[in-house]
Every structure is written in structure tokens, then in C-alpha cells.
Amino acid sequence: MKEIFTGGSSGAPPAPAALAAKVRTLAPSMTRSMQRVAEAVAGDPAGCAALTVTGLAELTGTSEATVVRTARLLGYPGYRDLRLALAGLAAQQQSGRAPAVTADIAVDDPIADVVAKLAYDEQQTLVDTAAGLDTAQLGAAVSALAAARRIDIYGVGASSLVAQDLAQKLLRIGMLAHAMGDPHLSVTNAVLLRSKDVAVAITHSGSTGDVIEPLRVAFEHGATTIAITGRPDGPVTQYADHVLTTSTARESELRPAAMSSRTSQLLVVDCLFVGVAQRTYETAAPALAASYEALAHRHSPRSR
Amino acid sequence: MKEIFTGGSSGAPPAPAALAAKVRTLAPSMTRSMQRVAEAVAGDPAGCAALTVTGLAELTGTSEATVVRTARLLGYPGYRDLRLALAGLAAQQQSGRAPAVTADIAVDDPIADVVAKLAYDEQQTLVDTAAGLDTAQLGAAVSALAAARRIDIYGVGASSLVAQDLAQKLLRIGMLAHAMGDPHLSVTNAVLLRSKDVAVAITHSGSTGDVIEPLRVAFEHGATTIAITGRPDGPVTQYADHVLTTSTARESELRPAAMSSRTSQLLVVDCLFVGVAQRTYETAAPALAASYEALAHRHSPRSR
DNA sequence: CCGCCGGTGAAAATTTCCTTCACGTTATTG
DNA sequence: CAATAACGTGAAGGAAATTTTCACCGGCGG
């Protein structure tokens, strides 16, 4: 047994540029002093890359051990590798001009600014999410879904919409997918799942009981379980065979967390869907075409 | 007295990216074994960045001392700094390679490409939507919503999720908003709307009868009507006081239109929400705080 | 043949990094 | 509210990297 913080997130390879995102994702599970280190690192990659362990420890008013621990948590074997990644990040930032529109939304912002800021933030969320997605986990999840007999998807609150979105899409390519909002229904259905089935839990916080419970039941009945969450260390991952991490953007008073987490979740869901559609192309393509055809009749005659 | 090669080239600061050039310039003045090192470094920055002094020495069949000497000659204080520069260079090359993923998604694309392409496309959709949004219309729509007594939102199919999203958000800041999926319910409720009320129709095609009909009824009963559509010339705009245009990205077999239209619609919905929250800040802020507080109790105790 | 000199690497010296362990703090339970 | 356990933290020692020192080797001119 080595240290307390050995795992970091699931066997993710050292992140290249998704560092700021990773910091935000993991920040809640960090201790105070580790947060200080993470903050310094995310705030000034170039500056920190120039420092030794000791230097960074002094700068943040912590100890060398803490710096190393933070590096580990972020997914690197040690500080040396974090430092290399930092240098890379700095170089990237150097070449790509920083837009610097990162400012928060204020109460008196003109509407045009609101549009610009929201669009920018959601873009950022997409970049972070894409960078932070573990493609191995994603691939495994896709395989499981593609081979599934039945798919149950759990999500409450804002995540319930994402669950519905995934269910709708999968249904359209002929998979038996159901989005479950009601916790009771979720659990009573979860007991019916078997090894050929897949259960998906969607929760930003990673600790939504109403969603964890059905996933646990599904897990214990032998179904393959997938968690889509912003907290890869949250309780939900306990019962998840595959964990897909969504990114966490900083939130504020006027922009609740639900906004960016939703964007992030939807991207993951889209990736799952396209992945499954690829694997089941033979049946998916005609199904998509058929559903498109069916919809045409619901529209009034085209104008123009 | 230190070493023979201390100066490097004229007192230049550590080179950032012009490393290959520097290697070529200085190659003639290098000894045989140093040339081997320089060559390896210039040929595979990423690979060399992963090696320690000893590793690079072995790889080039030289000694550690030679590696350090080469680093010095290239203008760095030591190997450590050369390594950092190498990592930066590798990251730059990496990122420079990215933008070429604009192509369509193919059936046999590896999962990593799928992620990159989807993220890129959704980003593009956001940019397009933000650019195409009429801020005057948006402002007017926000005003109407902020002053509304009651808000009905119509959307079917994929758009029904967007409708629900908007309704959820508005509810959280204390507005009486309802998402209507069922066409019959929509119409029967629409007849109840009066001039202080607002009806919102969300339809990508702009010609979804199930959504147009309730909007028409609301319009004729004197309610303020808003249409969120990708077809500003579609039938739905006939009955809309304010039209908010979403962007239409090209779709393909594996990526149905629903995907990008959803992203686009959600951005518009977010703008509406933030706009309304700004106008009603006095009541919205405490309401948001309260709903946040209420949710906290639905979560299991934090893991850590 | 001898001595000098640049090039080179083995090994020592040093810096940097990592691990262990004990102490203080905070949460938890009776 | 006290007792206890778990956790976060940094100091110090140990490991690994980097840097320096130094002796050797081979060639060339005297």
C-alpha cells in the first residue's frame, strides 16, 4: 500500500492540454492545500513549469509532498511529468492567442454580451469535455451498448433531459432504450436487468441518490453499468463498469452549473450514440432513414 | 573553470520552437557524438522529451555528459530545460495538427476521431448560432418573458427536450413556465392565454404542425408569441411576434440534424434564460439560491 | 618515441524528486 | 461533550535524476 491518493482518475494517460479542465473536475475532491497547488498550476502553467518541486511548494505555501500528491491526483506519475505537461500547455497557450473573454456574466451586461459569453463558455466546455474523455472507457461503453438487449437510462433533474435525449436517439436506431426519471420505477425495472443489459446513470454531482440506487441494483444483477458524471471519484462510480467524465465549468450566480454540465453531458451522449450507430451500421442506417421518412409527414407542406 | 562549451551561441535565451533550425546552424560546430544527440532531439522532440539524460544517452549511444553538453550548446542551462522546451515543442506540433478534422464522420472512424469531430461540429454550431442571433429580437423576447404572467412552451420530438429545459430553468427563478409536449394539451391550454402571457414554440423545421397549431391559438388569443426555429421563413413565424433563428449545420447519415439543431436551440434557450434572470434579478437570485440549497439534501454525503 | 590536446564516458557530487512517518486537525461516535 | 478515529499535512530521510569532475583514449606534430 503506497499513499492515500494513488488512483487519480481511472487509469487515464497523462492529459496533454485538458489540464485546466481536469483541475476543475478534480478540485472538489482535493484538500485545501492541494487546491492551492492546483490553482497555481492552472493559473500560470508557464510560470509553474519553471519551478522545481520545492519552488512550487514554497510559492503555494505548502510542502513538496503535497505538490507531488497533487501531480499524482491529476494523473501524472510524479511532479516531473506534470512539469513537462505544463511546459507543453504553456507552449500551446503561447501559440494560440487567448481570447480573454472569460469574464463572468454581470447583471447589467447588454444582451449581445450575454450571447457572446454564453457561446464562448459552451464552446470551452466542449473542448474541455472532448479533451478529458477517456476514449478507452468510451469505446468499452459503446461496445456494451451496441451489444445490449435492453438499455435503461437514469437521470433526474436537468440530467433527465440528457437521459431522454440518449434514449430517443438509441430508439431511433432500433435499440431498446428507456429513459427513467422516476426513482421508484427505475429501481423496480433495474431488478429485471441481466448480464446482456446495460444501465446508464447520468449525474453531474456523482452523488445523486435517486440515480445511484437503480445503478447499484442493475450492477448487482449483473448488468453492464455506465456512469456519466462530472465527479469521477463520486459514489456513483462505485457501481459503474465504465465511467465517462464530463467537464465542470466554473459556475456563477447567473449561470448555474446545470448549463455547462448539460452541454458536456450531451456531447458524451452524442459520442455514445454515434459510436453505437457505427457498430450497428447495418441496422442503424435503415432505421434512421425510416424514422426520418416517418417524420416528414408530420410537417406542413414546405414553404418556399 | 568549468567546461569547454559554456557559451552556446551568442548569449541567446532558451529557444522556444526554433529548435530544428538551431540544430542545423550549430551542427557544424559540434563533435560527432553531440551531433547524434542533436539529431535525435530534432527528429523526435516528443520522444526525447520522455527520456531522462541516461535514456537519451543510451539511445544515441553516447554518455550523459555529452547530452548535457549538447543541451548547453543549444542554449539551455542544462538538460532539464532542454527537456521542457522539447515538451513544449511537441505540444505545439500536436495542436497544429488538429484542425484537419472537419471531414464528415465515417463508419470506420476510430472513436477518438468521433469525439473530436462531434466536439468541433458542435462548437461550429455555437459560433454560427451566436453570429446569427438577432439581438433585437432576443431582447424583445426577453422583455416579454420577464413580464409574463404565464409561459407555455411547445416542442415535440427532440425539441421537446429543449422546451423542458427552458421550462425547468424558468421555473427555478420563479416564473410560471410549462413545457407542453402533447399537441392536444398544448392547444387546450393555449386558449387560456391572455395578453400578459407568453407562448414559445420550438421547432427546427419551422413547419411542425403539432407546434404551430398551439402557437396560432395563443397568438389569436392575444398572447405574446416567440418562435425558436431554424427556418425564419417557415410557417411557424406567421404567428410569432418574435423570431429567434437557430443555425442549421449540415447533417449526414450518422449525425442527424437533431444533434446540431439541439445544440443551437439550447444556446438560444440559455440566452433567454440568462436575459430573463438579469431582468428579474431581485427575485431570480434568491430563487436560484433556494433551489440550489434544496437540492443539496438530495445528494449523498460527499465522498472525498 | 614523446608530449600535447580535443573528444569522450565512467563515476563522483549535487540537485531534484519521491517516500515514509509522525504530528496536528477535523470529523465522528458513544 | 469527551473520546476516538480518520484524515491532511509537512519534515526528514532515501531514491533518482542531473551535473560536474576527472581520467582515459586516440591522433597529430615535434
pLDDT tens string B39-65? 898 888 889 999 999 999 999 999 999
Are both A75 and A142 inside the same structural domain? no
Q: Nearest nucleotide (C1') to the CA of residue B3? A: D20
Q: How confident is the model over A277-287, as pLDDT tens digits?
A: 989 888 777 77
Are both B123 and B146 inside the same structural domain? yes
Residue B78 belongs to what domain range? 19-97
Are both B164 and B219 inside the same structural domain? yes
Confirm whether B210 is domain-assigned. yes
- Is the pTM higher than 0.85? The answer reads no
Return the closest-CA partner of residue A19 out of B79, B91, B90, B122.
B91
- Assess whether A81 (CB) lies less than 7 A from strand C: yes
pLDDT category of residue A257 using cuts at 50, 70 and 90: low
Q: Which whole number is the average pLDDT over A256-263?
A: 80
Q: What is the pLDDT of residue B292?
A: 67
Confirm whether B105 is domain-assigned. no
Number of domains observed in the structure of chain B: 2
Enter the C-alpha cell of residue A283: 441496422
Confirm whether A227 is domain-assigned. yes
Chain A residue with the nearest C-alpha to that of B159? A165
CATH number at residue B66: 1.10.10.10
Confirm whether B10 is domain-assigned. no
Q: What is the pLDDT of residue B33?
A: 86
Higher pLDDT, A16 or B70: B70
Q: How confident is the model over A84-121, as pLDDT tens digits?
A: 999 988 887 766 554 445 557 777 788 888 898 889 88
CA distances from A155 to A134, B124, B173 (A): 21, 28, 22
Q: What is the pLDDT of residue B5?
A: 41
Q: Nearest nucleotide (C1') to the CA of residue A64? A: D10
Higher pLDDT, B298 or A5: B298
Are both A80 and A176 inside the same structural domain? no
Residue tagged 445523486 (cell numbers): A208
Contacts of B179 (CB under 8 A, 6+ apart): B153, B155, B160, B163, B164, B166, B167, B168
- Beta pairing partners, A75: none
B94: amino acid identity, one letter? Q
Q: How confident is the model over A182-226, as pLDDT tens digits?
A: 999 999 999 999 999 999 999 988 888 899 999 999 999 999 999
Q: What is the pLDDT of residue A268?
A: 96
- Assess whether A65 (CB) lies less than 7 A from strand C: yes
Confirm whether A90 is domain-assigned. yes
Q: CB-hemisphere CA count at 13 Å for B267?
A: 35
- Whether the CB-CB separation of A17 and A45 falls below 8 Å is answered with no
Are both A168 and A46 inside the same structural domain? no
Nearest by CB to residue A127, choosing from B112, B119, B259, is B119
Picking from A48, A69, A95, the residue at the C-terminal end of a domain is A95
Confirm whether A45 is domain-assigned. yes
Q: What is the pLDDT of residue B253?
A: 58
Are both A51 and A180 inside the same structural domain? no
Confirm whether B270 is domain-assigned. yes
Using a CB-CB cut-off of 8 Å, the residues of chain A touching B208 are 298-300
Q: What is the pLDDT of residue A248?
A: 78
- Which ranges of chain B have pLDDT less than 50? 1-15, 301-304
Are both A201 and A152 inside the same structural domain? yes
- Whether the CB-CB separation of A147 and A288 falls below 8 Å is answered with no
Strand D bases with any atom < 7 A from protein Cβ: 7-13, 16-22
What is the percentage of chain A residues whose pLDDT exceeds 90? 48
Q: What is the pLDDT of residue B276?
A: 92
B127/A122 CB distance under 8 A: no
A205/B233 CB distance under 8 A: no
Are both B116 and B251 inside the same structural domain? yes
Confirm whether A197 is domain-assigned. yes
Picking from B55, B73, B97, the residue at the C-terminal end of a domain is B97
